[in-house]
Amino acid sequence: MAQQLGVHLKPLLTYAEDGFQLPPVETIEKAIGPRTRGILICNPNNPTGTVYPKKALEGLAFLAKKHNLYVIADEVYREFVYDGLVHTSILQLPGMAEHAILVDSISKRYSACGARIGLIASKNKDVMTAALKQAQARLSSPTVEQWAARAGILMDPSYFRPILEEYQRRRDAVMEGFAKIPGVVCKVPTGAFYVIAKLPIEDAEEFAKWLLTDFSHENESVLVAPAGGFYGTPGMGRNEIRISYVLEVEKLRRAMSTLGEAIKQFQKIETQKGKSRPAEKAAHAQA
């Protein structure tokens, strides 16, 4: 959509080694140019599962006010925060009334992705006037889905407590599995229900394909998402995968055991390919 509208997105790199936290304010500021209009974040983050601390968000707020920018914050996963952490909304920060735009949805909170009901919220009247014009130019969501969304929003928030506890157990099962696999780089995610891990392999894209076409452990395999597609910088994430821990705990434990076996086998395959490449080059040179 950004390309269709002629919007240029400038990615900011984050790294597995520090849990994909935002870079320092000074680094972010260097990316701001005369045509920059806003900073776009997802907090808690998809695909990394990172929850940005209040201090990091205050840094973004400082830049927004200094350079007269918007901070557009996708906070769809804000209830999915673990380990006793508290999510800070961009709308809660002082002085951000004219700069903050919240993006929200019922998709994750109520497991209602098919309803396709979302919203934007801002205290900036010009932003909301423009949003209303856009909304009036399109058909609204189906009435039944709107009533269902209303019922969900009016529920007592305590309903979410057992859901949160279950997702934390699922996250812990995934992290226990990664801890048993030598060479994996993966900080514990503190939000959403995703984790990106750097694997001790060279090519996650080939690994993901191989899992589905050539690998089986006790008649089972696993599906992973290569993380390269989540980066805006070519070449990044080449040996990383994203996992979504939306299965029951026991299934996740079995899946992580299967993944560990798959990584061991794929490492051997990559090693053999590496050994054959010099011979292939020599053969081509002789030809």
Task: Tell me which CATH code domain 16-155 carries.
Answer: 3.40.640.10
Residue 11: closest CA among 228, 282, 269, 238: 228
What pLDDT, on the 0 to 100 scale, is given for residue 278? 44
C-alpha dihedral sign at 107, 153, 73, 238: negative
What pLDDT, on the 0 to 100 scale, is given for residue 216? 97
Beta bridge partners of 38: 70
Give the pLDDT band (50/70/90) at residue 275: low
What pLDDT, on the 0 to 100 scale, is given for residue 281? 43
Q: Is the pTM of this model over 0.75?
A: yes
Q: How far apart are CA 165 and CA 229, in angstroms?
A: 30
Number of other residues whose CB lies within 10 A of the CB of residue 164: 13
Q: What is the mean pLDDT of residues 208-218?
A: 97
Domain ranges of the chain: 16-155, 160-286
> Contact at 8 Å (CB) between 71 and 58?
no
Q: What is the pLDDT of residues 128-159, one digit of tens each?
A: 999 999 888 877 788 888 899 999 999 998 99
Number of other residues whose CB lies within 10 A of the CB of residue 287: 5
Q: To which residue do tokens 């870079």 refer?
A: 23
What pLDDT, on the 0 to 100 scale, is given for residue 114? 82
The radius of gyration computed from the CA coordinates of the chain, to the nearest angstrom, equals: 22
Q: What are the DSSP E strand ranges found in the chain? A: 38-42, 70-74, 100-105, 118-121, 194-198, 225-226, 240-244
Give the pLDDT band (50/70/90) at residue 279: very low
Q: How far apart are CA 239 and CA 234, in angstroms?
A: 13
What pLDDT, on the 0 to 100 scale, is given for residue 285? 41
What pLDDT, on the 0 to 100 scale, is given for residue 174? 99
- How many angstroms separate the Cα of 149 from the Cα of each of 16, 111, 174, 266? 36, 11, 31, 45
What pLDDT, on the 0 to 100 scale, is given for residue 280? 42
Q: How confident is the prediction for the chain on average, in pLDDT?
A: 93
> Contact at 8 Å (CB) between 245 and 171?
yes
What pLDDT, on the 0 to 100 scale, is given for residue 283? 41
Q: What is the pLDDT of residues 71-116, one digit of tens each?
A: 999 999 999 999 999 999 999 999 999 999 999 999 988 888 888 8
267: left (phi over 0), alpha (psi -120 to 50) or beta: alpha
* Pairing, β 100-105 against β 70-74: parallel
Q: In this prediction, what percent of the chain has a pLDDT beyond 90?
A: 80
Class of domain 160-286: alpha beta
Both tokens assigned to 151: 């019922």
Buried b (16+ CB within 10 A) or exposed e, 244-271: bbeeeeeebbbbbbbbbbbbeebbeeee
Q: How far apart are CA 195 and CA 245, in angstroms?
A: 8
Has residue 46 got a pLDDT over 90?
Answer: yes
